Amino acid sequence: MSEPMVKAEGVHKRFGRVEVLRGVDLSVPAGTVTCLIGPSGSGKSTLLRCINHLEKIQAGRIWVDGDLVGYEQRGDRLYELKEAEIARKRAEIGMVFQHFNLFGHMTALENVIEAPCRVRKVRRADAVARARELLGRVGLADRADAYPSQLSGGQQQRVAIARALAMDPKLMLFDEPTSALDPELVGEVLDVIRGLAATGMTMIVVTHEMGFAREVADQVVFMDAGCVIERGTPAEVLGNPREARTRDFLAKVL
């Protein structure tokens, strides 16, 4: 296995008195797909948001590509990075949310070129060419001039994936990317993620689609109540789980 693209050690996260993550350890090798599974409220989405510092952790450490997330170490102490530096590093991590979060007043093409032009200062002509390539890659070459309101949920989510890829991220995070979709639209989004997996993109996917996890994941991590209960290959975790809590969960969703 290669060096980890993502490494988390002893991560704790609280919202008020509620401890959402309770000492989470995670290692994601570069070029692999990790699927996070578990019941709602188990901390999966919060862990994703901590990986790109959308949420600050109270204890533990997270590294992405060898760099501490949100902090730098000087001697024995950690110092939080300035917001501009946090934003620069966050731009290297693509994130796709449940609810698309597209700009409603912009076309699909404009949504995809916004961050490269504004954040990376890419020339508009270059950004447009790259956006058209990415929209073609997700099967939407003919919808570049459509607004989000003119697109189905599955199409909107595919635009959101193209938008994340436009920043050439080293890591992609997917937070239940199909949970807001009608059942018949789920497949088209999962097909795009399958294609990304085939290219060797490092990905962490929070999902309730067990068939997809079985097919695409290199590693499946089962979480419950803010803890990692079990991890292993899909065959191990989904096919022959060791922990009773994992078996109980899978009995209800498979």
- The pLDDT of residue 254: 82
- The pLDDT of residue 2: 60
Collect contacts of 215-218 with beta carbons under 8 A, ≥24 apart.
216/33, 216/35, 217/33, 217/34, 217/35, 218/29, 218/32, 218/33, 218/34
CA angle 154, 159, 163 (to 5 degrees): 145
All residue ranges of the chain with pLDDT < 50 are 1
| Closest C-alpha to 194, from 172, 170, 164 | 172
Query: How many CB atoms lie under 10 A from the CB of residue 124?
Result: 10
Residue positions counted in the chain = 254
DSSP string, 64-105: ETTEESSEEEETTEEEEPPHHHHHHHHTTEEEE-TT----TT
- The pLDDT of residue 3: 76
Spatial separation of the C-alpha atoms in residues 213 and 233, rounded to whole Å: 10
| Closest C-alpha to 108, from 148, 141, 138 | 148
- The pLDDT of residue 76: 85
Identity of the amino acid at 215: E
Q: Name the β-bridge partners of 73.
A: 78
| Closest C-alpha to 171, from 222, 95, 97 | 95
Q: Helix crossing, 124-137 with 153-165: angle to 10°?
A: 130
